[in-house]
Structure 1
């Protein structure tokens, strides 16, 4: 039997370690946040009720409002620290060796990226579900997410793309287009793996290679794929 903490416990522990202004959550706050994560992930923000969260957390509903003024504040207290303090540093740490030309080609860059994201999603699936459910409807959340992506992630990936284009490994598409095409394949794989068909017997390394080959066959600057010809 595995001794690793559950996904919820591992994620919640990271949130507690992040803590705002160095203050650890109280035991009641911890139970409220954990209950909210589970219910938001299962039902979505709109369908969840504070009374249901309170019941699951084993606290009075009024206790929630002593810690969080509204249900939206509770949602943002879960997502905000993760986006601002967990996601960006996590991504930056993993992208640093890539941007220091540690890999010989864009395909190796992709392998490192996909392996990293597999582990990230595996560890933080509940909060990722909440993000995917709520980003289209929560303006503040969407703007924060976009700011983190553009400020902390995209500019670094763009640099790597320009590096591999300068080496003649990638076709001369705009960097944003390369990112969009790459993300479409990688996110599609992750969503299928963890959200649509998690019950399947996945060979992740084999699927990783399929994704890498699919992306590279479309983006490679090899002579067999002239620009503008089908």
Structure 2
């Protein structure tokens, strides 16, 4: 995996460009956090791999926690909204659009993103469970920005009679739980480098079988 792909994509909006030294620190931290875990990685190890002094890391980031946040927070904020505006326009403008089609496009797009940036995804999934700082960054962003956008999609398809008419919050929890667990299992627990089209289709059909409105639903 080319670590530079990550920063070309998620740090483009930041006002300052990474110096060569910062780039080495970031690459070393991502690699070691992914391999050994955050808690089992020392700043001395990061400094050694990055070929910088440990003092340089503290000068640039202050603490190891700050270094972790500088890696993961931009990734969190890049992961979700990439397809949102485009998808909404397409759905509203095309009466033939389906939720299954949207889910397929979104899932394939995000899996491609994770495949290109697997190590930082592994770091995020492993650490967000234990790090309150990450939860504090992720949960408000998810609740205030991501959730309303996806809820709008759900409402469109419920109104069209494609999905079961159950509370949107419950529907979202079902989708997030399965899709999130599916992706995390493949890339973190099984440490796979990619997910095949067949596996993606199996996941989509599993979700749709549970939430698609059938002729017997009233």
TM-score range, shorter chain: 0.7 to 0.9
| Aligned with residue 81 of structure 1, among 49, 74, 77 | 74
When the two structures are superposed, what TM-score results if normalisation uses the length of structure 1? 0.84
Secondary structure of the 2:12 match is helix
Q: Tell me, in whole angstroms, the C-alpha distance in 2 between the residues paired with 1:56 and 1:167.
A: 55
In the alignment, the residues of structure 1 paired with residue 214 and residue 10 of structure 2 have an alpha-carbon distance, to the nearest angstrom, of 45
Residue equivalent to 1:92: 81
Ranges in structure 1 where 5+ consecutive residues have no aligned partner: 1-5
Alpha-carbon distance in structure 2 between the residues aligned to 1:44 and 1:80: 17
Q: CA deviation at 1:122?
A: 0.8
Paired residue for 2:200?
208
Aligned length: 214
The whole-number CA distance in structure 1 between the counterparts of 2:105 and 2:36 is 33
The Cα RMSD (Å) is 2.2
Shift of 1:50: 0.4
2:18 pairs with 1:25: yes
- Please give the residue correspondences for 1:1-230 in structure 2 after superposition, counting only pairs within 5 Å: 6-19=1-14, 22-84=15-77, 86-87=78-79, 91-100=80-89, 101=91, 102=94, 104-198=97-191, 204-224=196-216, 226=217
Gaps of at least 5 residues in structure 2 are: none
Q: After superposition, what is the alpha-carbon deviation per residue over 1:190-210, rounded to whole angstroms, capped at 9, x for unaligned?
A: 2233233355995x2222221
For each residue in 1:15-56, what CA deviation from the matched residue of structure 2 results, as whole angstroms up to 9, or x when unmatched?
A: 55343xx22122111111110111111111111100000111
Give the TM-score normalised by structure 2.
Answer: 0.88
